[in-house]
């Protein structure tokens, strides 16, 4: 095919989506950058110029940096758990198993519940006076646990809710990946006499690496926005033990209505996340694809 | 040995099923309680442990002191389906382009463009609320379904692109090259040959779009006033000084229903996807 | 539109045809849901009555209202909206928002110049941020009988400077709720006396409150196998905990001999939040944690209501809701509770002399905490209709019925409401319960050593930094002094940022309310 024809097709595939997204997102993004250089708050709305003052304050805001650190731990931790569990579950219901279809759908359900409502339900479950968690664990002689009132348990509780809600995300992506795998490599492995474990590491895992990387990155992005779960379960407490960056920005932005400062926090957050995610993506590619360029 | 493996397999499935189902079962029983069934400590079995009541359910369907979720339900379906459809169409095309052609502008490569798409989801939604508000105000689309669809496309398109690129990468290039050798134009090859082969990916992407769109609370909340109320917004209207455990439980169950139906449908097509992939 | 015939009863039709000096109509809500059991109330003649509103014609116009989630405030808003539609022909659109998100839902349209709502229901403490956007209550509405009967405290709460910009529709305050069946129980009294060497009486100071809570904590009070706990308090960081904290510090830090500011020294605008009075209050709050029920260190208002209202604890203190929940018809502790003013302190910090003043009668300033209020947006094109709606919302007949429907969250705010008979006759409360309730509530209106909220611009910034500091101390991350020192530092920064004069001018209004004698 000639150059111009290729060029035409090339652009007409990409451009519609690209331009639509750009059109919708460009103004909000530029506007946020501009707001971050303003003193917009509850009393004086508008774009009054304050220069980089907000950014200087962000720099010295230990509460923000601590919440970033906490967030990284919680996000990375819960995403890894989700990935391992999701992969395991996908393998479990991939091939012949009784009631396969039932389990496949059942495993998807948590992701489909509305987070704002479901976290409230989790709060009732973990309620230390009125909830069933400690009650039922007590029956088998465990607990009572301070689900929402001790720092370590509240972090665990929040991560548990995240794992419950989002493991299906990994599960679905990996299951779809498994289902669309070609058969030849497996046949070849079988002919080689490879056992299930060797087949997994030599065939299944490498073949699913691209999907895995994609899934992990997108989950990291989403998990980092952890706000709703924190707000409902502990609102950052006890003390500041579960305060994440997203939640801190929420408090600054929409509770305190310190819009200018919240914008500066967000832009800082955005830049850090872009850098971190790029690095993580590179590392994952290196680790999972064994240095092959993608 | 085989028996043990099989046993462990089913045991693992059972444990996870229990963990998945427990909160939902709790929601089912809680949805039939009243304040008295809650304040006395955890109870599980109706009649035996607490006096069941339909009040939690009635509040969702126009009962006194409640809301009517039928209107919001329909609005939510319209907005979610529209935004998903637009995102999938645009997203599939873009993802196919990014998977098959090389785009180069200075130092910007394909992977950077893909990252640009997904990076749109990094921004905490909180700070976007005011710019989106101003944008929709300028367009006259505040408090309207169309405005929300627009915003949702910005939220869902990145997901669609991100997931689809991976799946198209998994579809061997030979099959579109063969199709084009047969005289098909790139669009035709894409439509007739590649698309059917990447159905699992499209389904999965569509399902994620539906889920994210259906469950978005934040933008549905900040960009509307009194006219347009989507389901999650209508439901949290019940979250007053006292959290109504009963009606929120009922609403959690009601709002997950349509997605479960879709899940069955997707699962079925997914299984069939194996057949489609078999020609490789 | 004369739908009143359908709406009320046929009595009204007679009234209108016979003469204007009328037999007033009996109003009930039976048409709008399962409200029949609350009976009816008499329509009191006047500009806000059913009869007067029925004569208005607002057909073809739309009123937009933002209010709290149902049922608290949200349900009466919706109910009266439907009635208003039937009476005037207007279309009324209501949106119900959970409290945590209400502020931003109101602020974003205000700040971007979008006339999104005509009528707003919200927490009265935001007056400092919102007053510029609100339409003052027109003189005509100041003269209606319902408004004239609003008690001084709630008129004060609705006023900014010399203008009333909020329309009083509810009364709120913090007070103690206790289990009367414990304090009246002969066995428990005897046992307490044997153990502690003094009579079991209601706590007069926070020290006694903590002591009693601890004594009765984690105990099976009545030998029936049920373990009860000491005190349920709102302790979840961003869930109104700041109000609980203010309740606890008021006694130690609001000195009746010191004028000119509680949160700040009005002259210098120096934060007082870390003075020894506040620190003492926080330490008492921290000490009380050991008498909380399980999970009590993460209780939001809803949890507190369930905990005390469900009979779990001896005490709680905050708004009326927990008391009303306890008094619901099917409640296990109905008529076994009582209400009392917040405890006091015998030593109160004097920031002028930098010393503790001693009081023989404990100093117990009532905290006239924020509560539900309503207002009309200045940018509204429908101010006439909007004020008519609020005036109708709060007319005597509606209020009499709303007060009885506990979940509505409408609590006494007019002189007429402070009558024990009302609660006995209409709701079947025991005389003693009704008396403690009414006396506690009306007693606050007589005090002239009152604490109000920090009704200044940026109030949420002040309150959320304070809540964060208090939470850090409660979780043991910092000492009380350290935590409040840090809060003081941040408060100074916020004052600097918003502008000292702006905050001072606003705070002067609050101080004027606190300091004016009666």
CB C137 within 8 A of CB C167: yes
Q: Give me the pLDDT at residue B109, please.
A: 86
Q: Cβ neighbours of residue B191 under 8 Å, at least 6 residues apart?
A: none
Q: How many CB atoms lie within 10 A of CB A51?
A: 10
Q: Chain B within 8 Å of A285 (Cβ-Cβ)?
A: no
Q: B251 to chain C: which residues are within 8 Å by CB?
A: none
Q: Is B36 close to C98, i.e. CB distance below 8 A? A: no
**pLDDT tens-digit profile of B123-169?**
888 888 889 999 999 999 999 999 999 999 999 999 999 988 888 88
SS3 C316: strand
Q: C64 to chain B: which residues are within 8 Å by CB?
A: 225-226
Q: Chain C within 8 Å of B240 (Cβ-Cβ)?
A: yes
Joined tokens for residue A59: 């720099």
Q: Is A240 close to C476, i.e. CB distance below 8 A? A: no
Give the C-alpha distances (Å, rounded to integers) separating C4 from A37, C55, C59, C76, C85: 57, 10, 15, 19, 11
What b/e sequence results for C88-105 when a residue is b if at least 16 CB atoms lie within 10 Å of its CB, and e otherwise? bebebbbbbbbbbbbbbb
Which chain B residue shows the shortest CA-CA distance from C322?
B242
Q: Is the pLDDT of residue B29 over 60?
A: yes
Q: Chain B within 8 Å of A91 (Cβ-Cβ)?
A: no
CB A207 within 8 A of CB A241: no
Left if phi > 0, otherwise alpha if psi is -120 to 50, otherwise beta: which for C72?
A: beta
C497's enclosing H/E stretch is helix C480-498
Nearest to B259 by CA among B70, B81, B67: B81
Q: Give me the pLDDT at residue B278, please.
A: 36
SS3 C56: coil
Left if phi > 0, otherwise alpha if psi is -120 to 50, otherwise beta: which for B181?
A: alpha
The stretches in chain C having pLDDT less than 50 are: 1-2, 5, 8-21
SS3 B241: coil
Q: Is A121 close to B263, i.e. CB distance below 8 A? A: no
Which chain A residue shows the shortest CA-CA distance from C471?
A239
Distance from CA of A43 to the nearest CA of C (A): 6
Burial class (CB in 10 A: 0-12, 13-18, 19+), C325: buried
Residue in C110, C218, C289, C295 to test binding to A, most A beta-carbons within 10 Å: C295
Q: Chain B within 8 Å of C105 (Cβ-Cβ)?
A: yes
Which chain A residue shows the shortest CA-CA distance from B243?
A120
Q: Give me the pLDDT at residue B273, please.
A: 57
Query: Given C35, C112, C301, which is nearest B241 (Cβ)?
Result: C301
Left if phi > 0, otherwise alpha if psi is -120 to 50, otherwise beta: which for B183?
A: left
Residue B41 — very low, low, confident or very high, per pLDDT cuts 50/70/90? Answer: confident
Q: B240 to chain C: which residues are within 8 Å by CB?
A: 68-74, 98-99, 409
Give the C-alpha distances (Å, rounded to integers) separating B149 from B75, B86, B89, C30, C489: 11, 9, 14, 40, 45
List the chains bordering chain A where 3 or more Cβ pairs fall under 8 Å.
Answer: B, C
Nearest to C73 by CA among C406, C327, C448, C295: C406
CA atoms within a 13 Å half-sphere pointing along the CA-CB vector of B167: 34
Distance from CA of B143 to the nearest CA of C (A): 9
Packing angle of the helix pair C276-288, C241-253 (nearest 10 deg): 130
Question: Rounded to whole angstroms, how far apart are CA atoms A260 and A34?
Answer: 9
| Interior angle at CA A33, CA A28 and CA A34, nearest 5 | 95
Q: Is the pLDDT of residue B67 over 70?
A: yes
Beta bridge partners of C271: C264
Q: Give me the pLDDT at residue C483, please.
A: 97
The CA-to-CA distance between both ends of chain B, in Å, stands at 35
Residue B201 — very low, low, confident or very high, per pLDDT cuts 50/70/90? Answer: confident
CB A213 within 8 A of CB A285: yes
Q: Is C407 close to B63, i.e. CB distance below 8 A? A: no
Q: How many CB atoms lie within 10 A of CB B125?
A: 21
Q: How many CB atoms lie within 10 A of CB A223?
A: 23
CB C176 within 8 A of CB C341: yes
**Mean pLDDT in residue range A15-39:** 92
Query: Given B64, B221, B241, which is nearest C101 (Cβ)?
Result: B221
User: Picking from A55-59, B276-280, C267-271, C410-414, which range would have the lowest pLDDT averaged per residue?
Assistant: B276-280
Q: Give me the pLDDT at residue C16, please.
A: 44
Which chain B residue shows the shortest CA-CA distance from A196?
B5
C92's enclosing H/E stretch is strand C91-97
Q: Is A101 close to B42, i.e. CB distance below 8 A? A: no
**pLDDT tens-digit profile of A251-294?**
999 889 999 999 999 999 999 999 999 999 889 988 887 644 44
Q: Give me the pLDDT at residue A87, please.
A: 96
Give the C-alpha distances (Å, rounded to integers) separating C404 from A37, C307, C417, C425: 52, 22, 11, 11
Query: Given B142, B237, B243, which is nearest C70 (Cβ)?
Result: B237
Q: Give me the pLDDT at residue C21, please.
A: 44
Counted across chains B and C, CB pairs separated by less than 8 A come out at 117
Q: Chain B within 8 Å of C95 (Cβ-Cβ)?
A: yes
**Mean pLDDT in residue range B103-111:** 85
Which chain C residue shows the shortest CA-CA distance from A131?
C295
Residue appearing with tokens 């009601």: B254
Beta bridge partners of C167: C374
CB C303 within 8 A of CB C232: yes
Q: What is the CA radius of gyration of chain A?
A: 23
Q: Give me the pLDDT at residue C445, please.
A: 82
Nearest to C413 by CA among C175, C172, C142: C172
Nearest to A75 by CA among A178, A219, A204: A219
Cis bond before residue B211 (omega within 30° of 0): no
Question: Rounded to whole angstroms, how far apart are CA atoms A151 and C475?
Answer: 8
Q: What percent of chain A has pLDDT over 90?
A: 62
Distance from CA of B249 to the nearest CA of A (A): 7
Give the C-alpha distances (Å, rounded to integers) separating B242 from A142, B209, B238, B276, C242: 30, 33, 9, 53, 18
For β-strands C367-368 and C451-452, DSSP reports them as parallel
Give the per-residue SS3 of C248-267.
Answer: HHHHHHCCCCCCCCCCEECC
Residue in A4, A10, A13, A212 to test binding to B, most B beta-carbons within 10 Å: A13
């Amino acid at each position: 095919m000639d150059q111009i024809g290729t060029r035409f097709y090339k652009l007409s595939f990409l451009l519609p989506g690209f331009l639509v997204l750009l059109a919708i997102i460009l103004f909000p993004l530029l506007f946020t950058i501009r707001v971050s250089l303003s003193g917009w708050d509850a009393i004086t709305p508008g774009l009054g110029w304050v220069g980089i003052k907000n950014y200087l304050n962000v720099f010295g805001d230990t509460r923000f940096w601590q919440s970033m650190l906490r967030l990284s731990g919680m996000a990375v931790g819960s995403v890894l758990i989700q990935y391992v569990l999701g992969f395991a579950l996908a393998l479990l219901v991939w091939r012949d198993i009784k009631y396969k279809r039932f389990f496949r759908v059942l495993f998807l359900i948590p992701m489909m519940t509305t987070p704002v409502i479901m976290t409230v339900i989790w709060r009732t479950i973990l309620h230390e006076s009125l909830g069933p968690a400690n009650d039922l664990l007590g029956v088998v002689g465990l607990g009572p646990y301070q689900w929402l009132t001790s720092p370590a348990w509240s972090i665990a509780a929040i991560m548990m809710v995240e794992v419950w809600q989002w493991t299906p995300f990994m599960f679905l992506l990996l299951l779809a990946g498994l289902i669309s795998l070609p058969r030849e490599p497996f046949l070849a492995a079988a002919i080689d006499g490879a056992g299930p474990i060797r087949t997994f590491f030599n065939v299944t895992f490498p073949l699913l690496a691209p999907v895995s990387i994609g899934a992990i990155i997108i989950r990291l992005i989403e998990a980092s926005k952890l706000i709703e779960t924190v707000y409902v379960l502990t609102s950052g407490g006890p003390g500041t033990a579960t305060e994440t960056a997203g939640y801190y920005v929420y408090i600054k932005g929409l509770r305190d209505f310190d819009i200018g400062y919240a914008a500066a926090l967000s832009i800082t957050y955005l830049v850090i996340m872009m850098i971190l995610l790029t690095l993580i993506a590179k590392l994952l590619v290196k680790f999972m694809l064994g240095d092959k360029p993608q | 040995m085989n028996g043990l493996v099989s046993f462990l397999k089913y045991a693992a499935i059972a444990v996870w099923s229990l963990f998945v189902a427990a909160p939902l079962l709790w929601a089912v029983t809680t949805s039939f309680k009243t304040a008295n069934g809650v304040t006395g400590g955890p109870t599980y079995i109706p009649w035996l442990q607490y006096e069941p009541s339909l009040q939690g359910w009635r509040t969702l369907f126009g009962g006194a002191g409640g809301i009517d979720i039928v209107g919001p339900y329909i609005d939510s379906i319209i907005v979610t389906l529209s935004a998903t459809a637009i995102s999938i169409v645009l997203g599939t095309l873009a993802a196919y382009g990014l998977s098959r052609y090389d785009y180069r502008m200075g130092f910007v490569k394909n992977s950077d463009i893909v990252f640009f798409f997904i990076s749109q989801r990094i921004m905490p939604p909180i700070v976007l609320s005011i710019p989106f508000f101003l944008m929709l105000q300028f367009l006259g689309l505040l408090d309207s379904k169309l405005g929300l669809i627009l915003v949702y496309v910005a939220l869902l398109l990145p997901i669609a692109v991100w997931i689809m690129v991976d799946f198209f990468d998994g579809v061997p290039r030979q099959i579109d090259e063969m199709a084009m050798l047969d005289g098909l134009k790139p669009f035709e090859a894409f439509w007739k040959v590649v698309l059917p082969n990447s159905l699992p990916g499209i389904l999965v992407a569509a399902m994620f779009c539906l889920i994210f769109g259906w469950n978005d609370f934040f933008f549905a909340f900040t960009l509307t006033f009194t006219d347009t109320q989507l389901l999650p917004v209508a439901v949290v209207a019940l979250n007053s000084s006292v959290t109504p455990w009963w009606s929120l439980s009922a609403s959690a169950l009601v709002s997950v229903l349509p997605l479960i139906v879709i899940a069955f449908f997707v699962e079925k097509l997914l299984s069939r996807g194996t057949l489609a992939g078999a020609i490789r | 539109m004369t739908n009143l015939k359908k709406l009320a009863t046929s009595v009204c039709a007679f009234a209108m045809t016979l003469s204007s000096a009328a037999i007033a109509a009996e109003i009930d809500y039976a048409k709008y849901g399962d409200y029949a059991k609350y009976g009816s109330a008499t329509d009191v003649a006047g500009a806000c009555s059913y009869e007067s509103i029925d004569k208005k014609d607002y057909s073809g116009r739309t009123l937009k209202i933002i209010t709290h989630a149902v049922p608290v405030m949200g349900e009466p808003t919706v109910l009266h909206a439907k009635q208003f539609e039937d009476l005037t022909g207007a279309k009324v659109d209501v949106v119900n928002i959970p409290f945590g998100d209400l502020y931003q839902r109101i602020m974003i349209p205000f700040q971007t110049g979008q006339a999104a709502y005509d009528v707003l229901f919200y927490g009265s403490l935001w007056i400092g941020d919102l007053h510029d956007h609100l339409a003052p209550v027109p003189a005509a509405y100041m003269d209606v009988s319902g408004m004239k009967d609003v008690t001084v405290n709630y008129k004060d709460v609705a006023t900014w400077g010399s203008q009333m910009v909020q329309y009083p529709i509810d009364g709120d305050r913090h007070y103690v709720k206790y289990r009367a069946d414990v304090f009246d129980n002969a066995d428990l009294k005897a046992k307490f006396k044997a153990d502690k060497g003094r009579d079991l009486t209601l706590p007069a100071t926070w020290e006694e409150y903590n002591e009693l809570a601890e004594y009765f904590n984690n105990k099976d009070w009545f030998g029936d196998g049920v373990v009860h706990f000491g005190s349920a308090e709102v302790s979840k960081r961003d869930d109104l905990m700041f109000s609980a904290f203010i309740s606890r510090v008021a006694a130690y830090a609001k000195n009746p001999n010191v004028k000119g500011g509680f949160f700040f020294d009005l002259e210098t605008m120096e934060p007082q939040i870390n003075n020894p009075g506040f620190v003492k209050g926080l330490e008492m709050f921290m000490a009380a944690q050991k008498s909380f029920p399980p999970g009590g260190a993460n209780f939001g208002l809803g949890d507190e209501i369930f905990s005390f209202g469900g009979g779990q604890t001896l005490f709680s203190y905050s708004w009326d809701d927990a008391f009303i929940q306890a008094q619901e018809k099917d409640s296990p502790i109905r008529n076994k509770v009582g209400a009392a003013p917040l405890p006091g302190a015998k030593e109160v910090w004097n920031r002028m002399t930098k010393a503790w003043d001693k009081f023989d009668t404990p100093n117990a300033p009532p905290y006239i905490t924020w509560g539900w209020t309503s207002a009309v947006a200045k940018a509204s094109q429908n101010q006439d209709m909007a004020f008519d709606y609020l005036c109708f919302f709060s007319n005597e007949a509606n209020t009499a019925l709303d007060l009885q429907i506990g979940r509505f969250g409408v609590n006494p705010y007019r002189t007429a409401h402070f009558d024990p008979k009302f609660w006995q006759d209409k709701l079947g409360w025991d005389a003693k319960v009704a008396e403690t309730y009414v006396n506690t509530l009306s007693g606050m209106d007589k005090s002239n050593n009152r604490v109000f909220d920090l009704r200044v611009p940026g109030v949420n910034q002040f309150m959320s930094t304070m809540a964060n500091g208090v939470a850090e101390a409660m979780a043991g991350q910092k000492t009380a002094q350290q935590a409040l020192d840090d809060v003081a530092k941040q408060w100074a920064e916020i004052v600097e940022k918003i502008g000292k004069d702006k905050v001072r001018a606003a705070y002067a209004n609050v101080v004027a309310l606190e300091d004016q004698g009666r």
